[in-house]
Structure 1
Amino acid sequence: MALTTKTVLLVIDMQNIFAPMVKSAMPNIEMLFSCFDSFGQPTIFTQHGHTKEELTPPFKNQLVRKWGPDGSIAKGSQNWQLMPQIEKLAKNKPIVAKNTYDAFVNTNLDRMLRDMEVERVVVCGVMTDCCCDTTARSAFNRGFETWLVADACGSANTKQHEAGLKGFGFAFGNVVQTKETIGMLSKQWSASP
């Protein structure tokens, strides 16, 4: 695994609605954040939600069509809010509002990463096989070296979580663990002038 220069931590959709899915991943996400923060490396958060207009027929958003308005996250709702421990971490950090699985679609995320001269994207959060995997694949397809942190992601169940990791690892970027990620990056950043 080649180490490049500028790396960003991308924390996907750590919102109240998904809290049960990331109980075991939460400490690892916090460790990753602490590592990036202690070395002055950037972290970007995403927050998934739909406007009142998107939740009103006729549904123009594909996800609202798939899940229906009751199965979609309304912007401003309690479910839409970042989890309390994530809200603390996200203070003074960029938060990308998104309305589809891919955090690059309908957002300025690509421009943000290009402006920051990012070369590597480390992805964690929820759901492994939906927003994390889709966004990580999109980062890979845009030319970023992409790591998906297995034990810092969560999904509806183990089968879906493992399927997301397997598909991503087969054809896209690297599937890594939190301690491995912190070890490699800390070594690189400590050696930088």
Structure 2
Amino acid sequence: TQMDDILRRRSIKSLIITGVATNVCVDSTLREAFFHGYYIVMPPDCVGSANMPLHEATIKSVEFIFGDVPESGKVIQMWEDRTGAEATPR
């Protein structure tokens, strides 16, 4: 896809990865992004899978190799701390 070009033109260096099928779609997306040099954040409470053992294994793999896995509340708090404004869900 052209996603890498779009992100680079906007000087985006970090990605928060969320979605369904943690061990398939989410894993594929975050690996591709990692290998393109992006910093990966995957809140474990923002991903899901029908297969819990594979879901949990993917979370451990991301934490060990590919990026950070903070809960979404921590990500929101970091944004608020950095900007000084309350993050508002859309």
Distance apart, 1:159 and its partner CA: 1.1
Q: State the distance in 1 between where 2:33 and 2:81 align.
A: 24
Look up the match of 1:15: none
Output the amino acid matched with 1:164: T
Distance 1:178 1:188 in 2: 15
1:185 aligned onto 2:87: no
The within-5 A match list for 1:1-193 is: 107-190=1-84
SS in structure 2 of the partner of residue 143 of structure 1 = coil
Higher helix proportion, which one?
A: 2
Hey, which bits of structure 1, 4+ residues long, moved more than 3 A?
none
Conserved? CA contact 1:133–1:165, under 8 Å: no
Q: Deviations over 1:113-158 (max 9, x none)?
A: 1111101100111111111122112212211111011001001121
> In the TM superposition, what is the alpha-carbon distance from 1:187 to its structure 2 partner?
1.4
Question: TM-score when scaled to structure 2?
Answer: 0.85
Q: Rg bigger for which structure?
A: 1
CA-based RMSD of the aligned residues comes to: 1.4
TM-score scaled by structure 1? 0.42
SS in structure 2 at match of 1:121:
strand
Aligned residues between the structures: 85
Q: Distance in 2 between matches of 1:189 and 1:119?
A: 18
Q: Which has the higher strand share?
A: 1
Q: Secondary structure at the match of 1:159?
A: helix
